[in-house]
Structure 1
Amino acid sequence: MRKSIVFILVLVLMALYASMFVVQEGQRGIVMRFGKVLRDDENKPVIYVPGLQFKVPFIDTVKMLDARIQTMENQADRFITSEQKDLIVDSYIKWRISDFSRYYLATGGGDISQAEVLLKRKFSDRLRSEIGRLDVRGIVTDSRGRLMLDVRDALNTGTGETTEADSAIASAAARVEQETKGAQPHINPNSMAALGIEVIDVRIKQINLPTEVSDAIFARMRAEREAVARRHRSQGQEQAEKLKAAADYLVTRTLAEAEREALIMRGEGDAEAARLFANAFSEDPNFYAFIRSLRAYEASFNDNQDVMVLSPDSDFFRYMRSPATSLAR
């Protein structure tokens, strides 16, 4: 009897332990019973919030889904504007699960990679359509914020046009309708809401030109800058030549004026010297003749090799004779 009570108590404890589960913060729990999502009396899926929860042991299974905002980085892709110009756009998406039951059924058991594949294809198609309506200036300036809002709203509410990505989302939505037997509210099958996903934000991180286009633009910019540099250099050279010519003219004029002043002053000095000499020599002509002869001797006998052929009685040598005779003559 005692062993039976212990055995029953162990079974109860095991059942109690198997019925308990903990939902961590940032997660939500969805219970599957016999492979179907557990629903309440109003046919709404039962979603378990963080904390200690209970389920029917050995019958129910719990699938944990991440309730936090997810960030999906998109690989840079090429888009064409309304001007038929290529742009390389790098972007990312912020999203979260809005309907855990629909998300679980649409993604084949809550597979986040499958959800992101469908979201990425839908986003790429929508962004390509929006960029195709704008020019480059509108994308990178005023219309950029509005562009992101339009893309986000189109992802959440859907569009009238149907693409390959929309067909895949519609197929997942049809699978949800089949699983729930049409008990879900009607949702646009071309929207991400059909997957139980809400897009929080869409952002463009970077917009670049393709390599071949940017190289051509850089080459053109370089040529334009070089042309401007050449123009500035030629203008600078022209100004330099003008300044040099003006400086040369000023130097020449200054030198000419200085030379003219020097000649005038030299002439005036020579005239004054001649006047003084004339006044001085007029008082004693013999002394003047003597001085002139001395200067002639000084100019004539510069070298011992100099030879002069003159008569000894020449008047040139008169002051080399006796002073009395020279002065008497």
Structure 2
Amino acid sequence: MMKSAILLPIAAIVGAAALSSLFIVDEREKALVLQFGQVKQIKEDPGLGFKIPLIQEVVRYDGRILGLPTTPVEVTMLDDRRLVVDAFARWRITDLVEFREAVGAGGEVQALRRLEGIINPAIQQVLGSVPSSRVLSEDRTALMNQIRDIARRQALNLGIEVIDVRLTRTDLPDQNLEATFARMRAEREREAADEIARGGEAAQRVRASADRTVVELTSDARRQADVIRGEADAERNAIYAEAFGQDPEFFAFTRSLTSYERALQSGNSSIVMQPDSEFFDYLRSDSGRGDVPGAATAPQE
């Protein structure tokens, strides 16, 4: 009984020690086994690993491709134009021992700071040697590849492989943006004023052409109306002349009636004439014919 009481704690201790000597590496991880800060084992494949309990420790690192959004950096271009540039880098740990020696216990966080200190100067070096038009163009893949190659060479000492670097923003500094926007607004306003002026000029030409067309059409219509009116008057006078030639007395009679009608209209006007005036010849006549001086007398049979 006493022997069982002793063996049980020993078995528990041995079991706990055995369990603490085991560790599992996930497929997304890489691990180092350290003993008093010294690397004793590298575990890059997923699966079960062993270590000495209480003496050795396991440090795990991300084995996947990681991202680094850099902080914006101001770059002076070859044409003395300044741009604010930031980038996004893709990287991964390739050498666990060098990585551990370079970043120490800081791990990935320290690696991000070190890597950003490599990429930002590479951006300034590459972009500072070209004009801003090339940086702002759509075809800037060659520039990003140059930045990647520089960062890749310098990051090898960290046990890191820089896979890719992409420029995500290329803007003017804040102090220049307002001036640039003001200049753009002024240019657009000038273009708008030019368009308005050209539109007004075109509208004026259209109105002048329309007015000229109206005058021409009106003049032509009046000319045609005058021609038609003259032809009508000539035809009317010819009819009058023919009628007068056929019966001069009837013509004189109708003309007198028309004169009476125009002269004796109702109103406030007054007319004073002698009773024996020729105007009243037909009024004095009983028959309207024969009594008129100069009228022809019918022949007696």
Are 1:71 and 2:67 counterparts? yes
Q: Which amino acid aligns with 1:273?
A: R
CA gap of 1:314–1:51, structure 2 versus 1, over 3 A, is: same
Q: Deviations over 1:231-272 (max 9, x none)?
A: 333333333333333332232222222222222222222122
Does the C-alpha gap of structure 1 residues 212 and 317 become closer, same or farther in structure 2, counting only changes over 3 Å?
farther
Indicate which of 19, 22, 31 corresponds to 1:20: 22
Inter-partner Cα distance in structure 1 for 2:66 and 2:275: 132
Residue number in structure 1 paired with 2:102: 106
Counterpart CA distance in 1 for 2:263 and 2:44 is 135
2: CA distance between counterparts of 1:273 and 1:325? 26
1:59 equivalenced with 2:55 (yes/no): yes
TM-score, normalised relative to structure 2: 0.87
- CA contact 2:25–2:43 (8 Å) conserved in 1: no
Q: Relative contact order: is structure 1 or structure 2 higher (C-alpha 8 Å, sep ≥ 6)?
A: 1
**Residues in 1 aligned to 2:175 and 2:54: alpha-carbon distance in whole angstroms:** 63
CA contact (8 A) 1:29 1:64 kept: yes
> Could you tell me which of 4, 7, 13 is aligned with 1:5?
7
Structure 1 segment 311-326 matched on structure 2, within 5 A: 311-324=274-287
Paired with 1:7 and 1:243, the residues of 2 have a C-alpha distance of 110
Are the structure 2 counterparts of residues 142 and 84 from structure 1 closer, same or farther at C-alpha, using a change threshold of 3 Å?
same
Are positions 1:96 and 2:92 aligned together? yes
Shift of 1:326: 6.0
Matching residue of 1:251: 214
Give 3-state SS (helix, strand or coil) of 1:231's partner: helix
Matched, 1:280 2:243: yes
Structure 1: runs of 5 or more not aligned: 39-44, 158-190
Give the Å deviation of 1:48: 4.8
Q: 1:12 to 1:319 in 2, by over 3 A?
A: same
Unaligned runs of 5+ in 2: 293-301
Quote the residue 2:162 is aligned against.
199
In structure 2, what is the equivalent of residue 31 of structure 1?
A: 33
Q: Identity of aligned pairs, percent?
A: 35
Q: Whose Rg is larger?
A: 2
Q: TM-score normalized by structure 1?
A: 0.80
Aligned length: 290
Given the superposition, is the C-alpha separation of residues 217 and 48 from structure 1 closer, same or farther in structure 2, using an over 3 Å criterion? closer
Shift of 1:288: 1.6
The CA RMSD measured in Å over matched residues stands at 2.2
Alpha carbons of structure 1 residues 326 and 318: separation in structure 2 relative to 1, 3 Å: farther
2:253 corresponds, among 265, 290, 299, to 290
Which residue of structure 1 lines up, in the alignment, with residue 264 of structure 2? 301
Per-residue CA distance 1:293-326 (angstroms, 9 max, x = gap):
1111111112143322112222212222232376
Whole-angstrom CA distance in 2 between matches of 1:142 and 1:251: 56
Q: Is the 8 A contact 2:67 2:88 kept in 1?
A: yes
| Matches of 1:217 and 1:307, distance apart in 2 | 89
Superimposed CA distance per residue, residues 158-186 of structure 1 (whole angstroms, 9 cap, x where no aligned partner): xxxxxxxxxxxxxxxxxxxxxxxxxxxxx
Cα distance, 1:200–1:271 mapped onto 2, change above 3 Å: same
**Contact conserved, 1:103 with 1:110, CA < 8 A, in 2?**
no
Offset, 1:106 = 2.0
